[in-house]
A and B are shown apart, each in its own frame.
Chain A
Amino acid sequence: MNGLIEITGLTKAYDASHVAVDDITLTLSGGKIIGLLGPNGSGKTTLIKMLNGLLTPSRGSIRINGQPVGPETKAHVAYLPDRTYLSGNQKIDEILDYFCDFYADFSREKATEMLKSLGISPDSRMRTLSKGTKEKVQLILVMSRNADLYVLDEPIAGVDPAARDYILRTIINNYNPSATVLISTHLIGDIEKVLDEVVFMRQGKLVLYTSVDNVREQHGKSVDAYFREVFAC
């Protein structure tokens, strides 16, 4: 099957005793919202970084839309890292210019509209914003793109429940419906309702890749409850 993301034998070892991602083979199709789930240290962020070319795999390969990770795939992948990566000196307006210049699929109008709805001034400098607002700005930048793949690393971690609702609403209302959204989190209860499929990871290995409906039908449980069962300490 040809998928949007084709991962073959992917391994990332920092050293002999620390294998973050261990021989994963996986094909993810387009048009789905997929939860990348696993406890802390299961290799979710490492996998995501390799999808975005920020980490070099030790072995194996990744193809997105049939292309190896590179400038061609980056033009079609919108990535939200798990940290603030924008320089504190930059004004939001300048960041919008930057995204307009580099990403052909970026909609300035959409971004401005979302900023306005949150009462964030485009003249603000990043360093003057609270942590939560910075995260919202970064999410707005990502969701204002008409990408083929959205990769969101822990988008709802560390924010209050109201902000979580806003973030999830923003994702659902703004993503390109023909695209795939890959959301990494361990806060499953909050996002379960929006997921089509789930990928479970543990200690760098792929444990499960199936649809949410399958989990409910086969195990008679919610994804959250099944996750707790699989990853019980």
Chain B
Amino acid sequence: MSDMRALPVGDRALLVELGSGEEAEALHAELLRRRAEGTLPAVQEIVPAARTVLLDGLDDPARFAKWLAGWEIPPLASGARSAIEIPVRYDGPDLAAVAELWGVRPDEVGRIHSSTVFRVAFCGFAPGFGYLTGLAERYAVPRRATPRTAVPAGAVALAGAYTGVYPRSSPGGWQLIGSTRAVLWDHARVPAALLTPGARVRFVPEEL
């Protein structure tokens, strides 16, 4: 990838910046593939994010950066993994506001959202909170001007072009369009997170 940049992060880590979220996801997938194959040097954490992948706990980040520059990174394979289905009711308090931003009727928000195949680009904010990409850029919405002090667990929410599901009750500024009874995070389960980076996701409307 021509516009890949490896940025130094202290003396034990490397932040690899890419031209797009898709390229970051492709690099993340390739890193996981090489790790599974046993050809990746020891690294403590591989953390994908919006445009970057962080490699933390490397013995020699500079050497890794040089090696990485010569990689051929295959584009993301689509449809290789089956999608995780999340049951949802489109009953969020911000449904009308989102419909207005999208220029559609409130009942169309759920139709558009549930006909989209999402991918977990990365996790953050809270354990098990995935940033899901898939909605077209024209459906991007701003965060709420005033964040809520308590968003309930299972709230299905939008911010920018991302969709997220709150794993537990917490403060939050995303626009709430629905709710799910799916358990996003259970530390007694393996894996604890329902949504892990790279997973494909579909929202399936439930009867009200």
Do A and B associate with each other?
A: no
Q: Identify the A interface with B (CB < 8 A).
A: none
Q: Identify the B interface with A (CB < 8 A).
A: none
